Amino acid sequence: MAPIQMVDLKQQYLRLKSEIDAAIQRVLDSTAFIQGSPVREFEENLSQYTGSKYVVSCGSGTDALLAALMSIGIGAGDEVITVPYTFIATVEAIALLGAKPVFVDVYADSFNMNVHQLDAAITPKTKAIIPVHLYGQCADMELILDIAKKHNISVIEDACQALGAVYTFSDGTKKQAGTMGTIGCTSFFPSKNLGGYGDGGALMTGDDSLAEKLHAICRHGSKERYLHQYIGLNSRLDTLQAAILQVKLQHLDEFIEARQTVARYYEEALSQIPKWTLPIHSEYSTHTFHQFTIKVNAQYRDDIRKYLLDKQIHTAIYYPVPAHLQLAYQYLNYCEGNFPVSEQLCKEVLSLPIHTEMTTEQLQFIIQTIVNCPL
């Protein structure tokens, strides 16, 4: 058996090659590399897909978070609440603007924001909350939105891992990840569920004036050429990326279903192994399985990884160190023990290979190897 990687971009490309090559060739023929027509077309299609009134594409998921915070005026003296158990970009965007990242812990079962800690974290300086829809499943948005509304603060969704996830509100209303808060941010990093062939990202909002402002911020703060209303960014989605993403968006539902099938396969087989904890499905959100992350005994995790790697099965740890214990964020004066659930998860989690091209043979081999694992 060939090594089993966390993602297999090559096989997916080969499957879509004729469509993607043609889309790339059209961009080459047009030479409209910046803001060519595929950019607008992709934004419109993504807006239809997600149900977000506006989609503004940009250079990356990190830029989307940064632009979102800039558009609502976050700066020095402001506090923004998020979780320490996330990819660092969520926290970085807050810190880059001179605002203070304030953390609340996550739930041990869903890996998402512990909404019960929000009230205690809110101060008169709190301007926004950034819930992260980790691994492809939405945080408890209904409660987060209620609390935010009560305190008149914005909600910026980090939907970089959860594009296409559907949240159901208690009244039955369904909304997609990234379309519930003030602004939603997503990423088209190649390994994401909708991945380009380079960096890319997008912002979603239902607010007319914010959409216009976000569009300007991502283009040097300019609405009219060489007139600059805001201090902005140079953050645009390349035409080539838009053309590739436009092709792949047509397959996104199928990609998500393929991931869900892999997850079901793992769940059925691994439910026989009680010592390993499977990811939960929350009652309010579908799971797009950007990652299939299990929890194992912290004491054996590294040995389990090594055992799997010896059998050529790659795994990953998202994330080994929580944001509040990262060197760069020492200035916030958090210490070990502040967010015990996040800290413990960092020691226990193990993400298994999951992507759109996994074969039954690969899955059977992984399951058999896991079943035989002595740890």
Ligand X SMILES: *Cc1c(COP(=O)(O)O)cnc(C)c1O
Q: Are 79 and 99 in contact (CB under 8 A)?
A: yes
> Hey, which residues between 181 and 210 contact ligand X (CB under 6 A)?
187, 189, 199, 201
Strands 126-129 and 79-82: parallel
Q: Minimum distance from CB of 152 to ligand X (Å)?
A: 25
- Residue (105 or 199) nearer to ligand X, CB: 199
Q: Which of 71, 86, 154, 342 binds ligand X (CB under 6 A)?
A: 86
Q: Minimum distance from CB of 241 to ligand X (Å)?
A: 11
Single-letter amino acid code for the residue at 20: I
- Residue (259 or 270) nearer to ligand X, CB: 259
Stretch binding ligand X (CB under 6 A), from 9-17, 58-66, 262-270, 319-327 = 58-66
Asked if residue 102 binds ligand X (CB under 6 A), the reply is no
Q: Minimum distance from CB of 322 to ligand X (Å)?
A: 13
> Hey, which residues between 318 and 347 contact ligand X (CB under 6 A)?
none
> Hey, which residues between 122 and 141 contact ligand X (CB under 6 A)?
132
Bridge partners of 154, per DSSP, are 128
Distances (CA, A) of 20 to 17, 27, 256: 5, 11, 19
**Secondary structure of 166-195 in the HEC alphabet?**
EEECCCCCEEECCCCCCEEEEECCCCCCCC
**Secondary structure of 346-364 in the HEC alphabet?**
HHHEEEECCCCCCCHHHHH
**Residue 201, helix vs strand vs coil:** strand
Residue 49, C-beta contacts closer than 8 angstroms, at least 6 positions apart: 164, 249, 252
Q: Which of 42, 85, 87, 284 binds ligand X (CB under 6 A)?
A: 87
Q: Minimum distance from CB of 83 to ligand X (Å)?
A: 10
Q: Minimum distance from CB of 106 to ligand X (Å)?
A: 12
Count of residues engaged in binding ligand X, rule: CB under 6 A: 15
Residue 355, C-beta contacts closer than 8 angstroms, at least 6 positions apart: 6, 7, 8, 12, 258, 259, 262
- Compose the 4-43 pattern: x for residues touching ligand X by CB under 6 A, - for all others: ----------------------------------------
Q: Minimum distance from CB of 200 to ligand X (Å)?
A: 7
Q: Which of 62, 154, 205, 286 binds ligand X (CB under 6 A)?
A: 62
- Least Cα distance to 191 among 4, 10, 324 occurs for 10
> Hey, which residues between 150 and 169 contact ligand X (CB under 6 A)?
158, 160-161
Q: Which of 50, 90, 176, 351 binds ligand X (CB under 6 A)?
A: 90
Spell out the alpha helix ranges (H) of the chain.
9-30, 37-50, 61-71, 89-96, 118-121, 141-151, 208-217, 239-249, 252-270, 301-310, 340-348, 360-371
Q: Are 111 and 293 in contact (CB under 8 A)?
A: yes
Which residues of this chain interact with ligand X, rule CB under 6 A?
60-62, 86-87, 89-90, 132, 158, 160-161, 187, 189, 199, 201
